[in-house]
Amino acid sequence: MEHAARGARAAGGLTIGLLPGDDPDDANEHIDVAIATGLGHARNAVLARTADGMVALGGGLGTLSEIALALRNRRPTIGIKTWRFDRQDRTEPELPIAENATEALDWLVMSAPHQLDERARSGFRQAFGYPPGAVAVAPGRINIIGEHTDYNEGFVLPAAIDRHIGVALRLRRDARIALRSDRYQASVEFDALPTRRQGNWADYVIGVTREIDQRYDPGPGFDAFVASDIPVGSGLSSSGALDVANAVAMLAARGIELPAVETARLCQAAENGFVGAHTGIMDPFTALTARGGNAILLDCRSMRDEHVPLPDGRFAWLLADSRVRHELALTAYNERRRECEAAATVLGLPSLRDAREADLPGIANPVERRRAQHVVTENSRVLQAADALRRRSPRGLGPLLYASHESLRLDFAVSCRELDCLVELAAGMPQVIGARMMGGGFGGCVLVLVEAGGIDDVEQHLAEGYADEFHKSPEFYRVRSVDGVMPERTT
């Protein structure tokens, strides 16, 4: 137990000791939070939360060698978020206190979406003084390949990940709207549903609500609380997860049933219309329909989808966040969409989905021709990547990921030096299968497919090389695939 706790402390995390007796003071100096379980000497254990949120299990509930391995690789056997226990207040103050060891243990084995559900419910009760009427939890996503193809009616290959947003809400008897979040300190309140953008996170909630009102009768006001563990601006679709969680909770509260595809279209319409981001349908569709262990091959024209198996445990997905947030990203994103539409018009096509490489010389404008070149070749890479996954050949993804990045850098012109640096550093590591920038561009994350046993070395190499050039460290997220939106829960 002491060995496991020492390893967790070395990993920079929170150690939670599950002690066999009745006295929490029996914990050694390596334990941050002690829980006296009274379960007997055969059941002592240590739960160790590392700095990136991973948790390993050791002692009587798992061997010390297992916890040492889990800590070294940061591969959890149980995933949790921080909690306030009844003995010490070491973590997030907005979370409720566990009343006893049984409640604490129940929390420790909760899945990630259930934790966000509980955080949203607790935050709502603390903010408004009464329980929510409906709660929904939606995941963020990675996009393995297929960037800027969804709004061109092409193909994408996303997967939902274990970062979530939970929305808890209750309808009011009047028209007032009150919004709170554990991510943003400022509260947002309106006498009625706004008709204009506010320029902040509330626009996503307002936009989805307006879309529901336009499709059905206008609804009443509401109170809502948003809990999130998705990094904003990293290209992990925090906005898409917020759209979906809000839509699913609001539809449930109003007693409206809507198929997943229609809910995704509703969310896309909210972003395209009210928010002003001309995004495609990939993000909301993924948050609604994903299956753990699988990516979704989605045809964004027909909306036909196929779940294809992701690489097994010998491989891992690492996200390296450049910590760059360029203000021009949204403007440039919309500009790229206009350029793609112009290229399709020149070719006499409804979208670039129908274009072929042989058609590209017919586009006189060199910028529009390069944009079309990216879309055409990226669609091909998506189909090749899906085939590699079907054949259980994850190493076949490597050249495709690198080619995708080069196309985004040169033809679509949405990369930046920080992203290029991370990809170049990753390419120099033998444990890396492939890497590319991910998301709309101009900052955010690089997606790296890596041999699981080499992830620590890769992370260190990227951190050191990035710091040498930019004098700051990237953030790293080790993610795994999960199911889509947790079914709404009403109270």
For 13, 250, 291, 374, 394, the CA distances from 139, given in Å and listed in that order, are 24, 17, 11, 28, 24
From CA 458, how far away is CA 95, in angstroms rounded?
A: 34
387 is catalytic: no
N-term to C-term CA, the chain: 41
Whose CA is closest to 141, among 289, 299, 5, 31? Answer: 289
Q: Is 222 helix (H, G, I), strand (E, B) or coil?
A: strand
From CA 182, how far away is CA 167, in angstroms rounded?
A: 11
Beta strands in 326-440 (DSSP E): 432-438
H or E element, residue 340: helix 329-346
The residue count of the chain comes to 491
H or E element, residue 295: strand 294-299
* Options 229, 283, 321, 411, the catalytic residue: 283
Angle between helices 417-427 and 397-410 (to 10 degrees): 160
Q: Are strands 134-143 and 443-451 parallel, antiparallel or unpaired?
A: unpaired
From CA 167, how far away is CA 249, in angstroms rounded?
A: 7
From CA 257, how far away is CA 404, in angstroms rounded?
A: 39
Other beta carbons within 10 Å of 491: 10
Q: Which two tokens stand for residue 106?
A: 């129940």
Do residues 310 and 293 lie in contact, with contact meaning Cβ atoms separated by under 8 Å? Answer: yes
The H-assigned helical ranges of 2-88 are: 2-10, 64-73
Sequence-separated (6 or more) residues with CB below 8 Å from residue 53: 79, 81, 229
From CA 428, how far away is CA 156, in angstroms rounded?
A: 27
Q: Residues with catalytic annotation?
A: 283
